[in-house]
Structure 1
């Protein structure tokens, strides 16, 4: 590969150096922030020699080259673009964030707030569903002490939801999480009338505020979401400002006192009353849409769901679902999301069964199955968007499934689960949920089957094909010939839990654009050699390491998702480039707690980057593994 020529072509496709805000690279991708996206051609970028895919995420244009290639391309790209290499790794994330408009930054913040509390909501929702199911089978249980105790568990997260939201919001906005918890407690304090008791009350207490300017109702904010988020945002702003201006000697006393006093008073007198009206308007709008006659609104929402995933704004639905659960006790949005997800999975499934291209099938089939389990990004980004028509078929299928959900009034007792596992949290109308999925999948599958046409140049085939220079290299051919051994294996480099590559929370890895493999959710911060071989590259940020087995198999171990942004913090390499290694040698250490505190996923892909050279590659994709356990086998 002519790396300088490739770099020049990339620069031309993004509109030249004057259109480039900043750029950096990680173990696999060239990451760029573009000033004017209208001057950028993603189609031409995908046709450049060595490019395995192009994605847009978090304000960055990411061009996938793969391990060992991206750094060489970047070495040529940096001087051509006039990039300060030393500063880009720290600046590219800030540049990408600042480039996004306020709306997308707000949506990202909502995702950062509501995604971490999903386990608590799911636990409560599942308990509620299981409890009600048992009561349907054994009605007498509803009068038992066991029911009373477990029911207490099942609604705890919803009763104290404002506190959970406040803690998560404080973490997202950079405030003290304990002060955030106090603000949440103030909003549902027992001295305030419980919001759920207001409907039947005849005498609601009031208080005169702002020196008699007006009165407010002394009612708590149980069941509310948006007022809590706004209140904690204000708290974080005040706290950070005070930390800057208050002398350190009295900061410990003055800052918390003033922060809680000012935020609490403004929340109960202004933020709460105003944003309750705003939130009720949003919820009323969503309920109006979903309950339009004949399920029309639910169908519209089902069709629009997948495009919002592509746009990266789907995290806003977490706040909507939490609000519906708190206000109505039922989440009517989840079945619509399920319809959209399974429809995209069915569209990818139809493509995988119809295509004659083995590589296309190897990507599309697992991506489709993943979507049926609620993880839709691999199907959308890895398959359907590449061919366009399956994506459209999936949107139409989502509309059909949403129509069924709207007509049959299907709901759920939690959020955070869709697809097949959604049956666990479906309330009452289980048959409706089943029909929702069947109709969505059936329509999408049939339309995708009809619309998809095999082309002479398949996009997935193109991005994985072996460069001509490699095909004609006699040395490479000899190495491949000598590596045909069925008993070769890749052993786990980590202790932890195995998951399929399609479940990695990053579309580049999940779509297998970089190669086949598995991923490990680590339980200890040590990476060991998965075979005898050589260290091809230790990345200077320490988050990834490329290895070559003695027979030529190339493996990338990428510790965490987007952890290149840490700039090397919390990683310590124990080997160097070109070093010979034996299975079980310690390669890398990392601080799991600090990486998690910084907000990064620890999921670690283990990728055979030249997997297209190996037929019958088999993987162990589930279960717990220790370093040295066999996880991948295959022969050339």
Structure 2
């Protein structure tokens, strides 16, 4: 893959670097925050080779690429000033509903930490396995060193969140880090552990344990960003660079300990308790619902609202019941992709489904979902049903997660503990059942269209009346000198792609278009007879040469009535210019046709 070319094309069609307010990336997606959505060409980006799909959710314009997203992200940073000049904290002035803005804030803060969270979580799980198996003991210095490596991220999580939150809210990163450091400063921890009454200038302070917490530092940095901007605006230029941090520290550290800290801890615990109460009522139902809905929540980006709850559960209770159920969703969609690979007769789809399934095994489901199951619809539904079955087993087993990380083959150790056998059974059921259901239920296989008529199908690019080529007044077409085909007397001035492929030709006058299909059939669409004489008048191309198109994509529009008024014959030949490589070219028997109907079968 040419990462430089891919990055350049994305940046161009996104509206250029000046249209980017912020950019972050997760395991598979570039997450753009755009200044003007209308400048971004979603369809053009989806047609770029190397892009799986584009998702708009939570106020973000998300370009799904797959495992190579870090390389593309680096190329965008290298060739532009996006990463340096992007305006962090754009959410304050952005338009959109509150839910979308909250999703954007949470995802921007947590996304940069996902990789290291997964690595630390795996190590934590492996250490637990080693101690239970008797390979290591907690008294050994080897264990102490490795456990420090695994647990430091979670212990010092407020410090890491201070960095990402400061970037998001446009605050001074080092001041934010200092505030976070104060929350877990040894003297503060000792005060809390002593149980002694604590006050700040006679104001009572309810001290909490802030190691591994999430909400308090995010609230603190959010408020600090406003205080910092206020100070920078009104304090004199000569002293503001050190007076501003002084004021922020003096105000924000006590304010956080007195207000934001307890508020954040109690809020997090309350939300976690509410969700966990569902498991107390019916763990089977809770596991099934979470597993069934998880991938749907991911598609819309809503799952980010649950991430802090999962982290809070792990921090406070040392375990979480929600995350194991989400693993069933991951393995179910992976199984659905495998089912598609086994079922399809389309070589391209088989290769795509196979590679997406392998990626899904390791916890990255975007290529499987957006590239395969969701596009084919039925496999996605089979995956949701299978996830519910596996989630029910996991819920019944009271399976837990002891750390955070994308559910996958490599992160299985983070689920080691009570209910671990049930967890393994649950994800296995999700995976295998999804393969079986997808294979049995089936889907609209692209290969099936060819099988129906014994050859490759070409669909009508126009709505109108079907004619024989011999009815076209231009002898070049009527004699089949350019190849066999059919003609249409158009009823509307819209031309669409008759098959998936590449636009091989766009005549400068906009009156004719060539398409090379995925199986190398060469299709020529010539709008009207002698319309080249108009020199482009009344023709409005919508595609460019070299563009990859899907069947039904608009190639051009033209003013049909204007062509008639000027006396032009609007009969439009649709010719297979390399028809000599086929045994026969069979035209449809329909008289009236629309773009959804097949018009030619190539034998």
* TM-score, L = length of structure 2: 0.60
Instruction: State the SS of the aligned residue for 1:142.
Output: coil
The partner residue of 2:178 within 173, 177, 182 is 182
* Cross-structure match for 2:474: none
Shift of 1:451: 2.7
CA–CA distance in 2 between the matches of 1:144 and 1:154? Answer: 15
CA–CA distance in 1 between the matches of 2:393 and 2:367? Answer: 25
The partner residue of 1:300 within 289, 309, 325 is 289
* Cross-structure match for 2:313: 324
* Cross-structure match for 2:78: none
Instruction: State the SS of the aligned residue for 1:141.
Output: coil
1:121–1:367 distance in 2 versus 1, CA, 3 Å: closer
* Cross-structure match for 2:149: 153
* Cross-structure match for 1:499: none
* Cross-structure match for 2:15: 24
* Cross-structure match for 1:235: 224
Whether 1:433 and 2:423 are equivalent positions in the alignment is yes
Shift of 1:286: 2.5
1:455–1:160 distance in 2 versus 1, CA, 3 Å: closer
CA–CA distance in 2 between the matches of 1:432 and 1:245? Answer: 60
* 2:401–2:415 Cα contact (<8 Å) kept: yes
CA–CA distance in 2 between the matches of 1:374 and 1:315? Answer: 16
1:125–1:436 distance in 2 versus 1, CA, 3 Å: same
* Cross-structure match for 1:206: 197
1:24–1:380 distance in 2 versus 1, CA, 3 Å: same
CA–CA distance in 1 between the matches of 2:60 and 2:206? Answer: 46
* 1:335–1:436 Cα contact (<8 Å) kept: no
Which segment is superposed worse, 344-353 or 114-123? 114-123
* Cross-structure match for 2:361: 372
CA–CA distance in 1 between the matches of 2:515 and 2:499? Answer: 23
Shift of 1:392: 1.4
Shift of 1:245: 2.1
1:143–1:32 distance in 2 versus 1, CA, 3 Å: closer
The partner residue of 2:110 within 110, 114, 125 is 114
* Cross-structure match for 1:618: none
CA–CA distance in 1 between the matches of 2:247 and 2:48? Answer: 57
Which consecutive residues of structure 2, in runs of 5 or more, have no partner in the other structure?
Answer: 1-12, 18-29, 65-84, 451-456, 458-497, 507-511, 522-544, 549-603
Whether 1:246 and 2:210 are equivalent positions in the alignment is no
* Cross-structure match for 1:55: 54
Shift of 1:475: 13
The partner residue of 2:339 within 334, 337, 350 is 350
Count of aligned pairs: 419
**Mapping 1:458-473, distance limit 5 Å:** 464-467=500-503
CA–CA distance in 2 between the matches of 1:375 and 1:427? Answer: 21
**Mapping 1:179-578, distance limit 5 Å:** 179-193=175-189, 204-208=195-199, 212=202, 215-428=204-417, 429-454=419-444, 464-467=500-503
Shift of 1:207: 3.1
Shift of 1:284: 0.9
* Cross-structure match for 1:634: none
Shift of 1:131: 2.3
1:474–1:271 distance in 2 versus 1, CA, 3 Å: closer
The partner residue of 2:133 within 131, 137, 152 is 137
* Cross-structure match for 2:3: none
1:165–1:456 distance in 2 versus 1, CA, 3 Å: closer
CA–CA distance in 1 between the matches of 2:317 and 2:393? Answer: 20
CA–CA distance in 2 between the matches of 1:63 and 1:219? Answer: 40
1:163–1:310 distance in 2 versus 1, CA, 3 Å: same
1:218–1:281 distance in 2 versus 1, CA, 3 Å: closer
CA–CA distance in 1 between the matches of 2:345 and 2:515? Answer: 32
* TM-score, L = length of structure 1: 0.57
Whether 1:125 and 2:121 are equivalent positions in the alignment is yes
CA–CA distance in 2 between the matches of 1:155 and 1:248? Answer: 43
Shift of 1:249: 0.2
1:431–1:459 distance in 2 versus 1, CA, 3 Å: farther
CA–CA distance in 1 between the matches of 2:437 and 2:515? Answer: 47
1:23–1:458 distance in 2 versus 1, CA, 3 Å: farther
Please, what is the CA RMSD of the aligned residues? Answer: 4.4
* Cross-structure match for 2:99: 103
CA–CA distance in 2 between the matches of 1:332 and 1:294? Answer: 9
Which segment is superposed worse, 113-122 or 248-257? 113-122
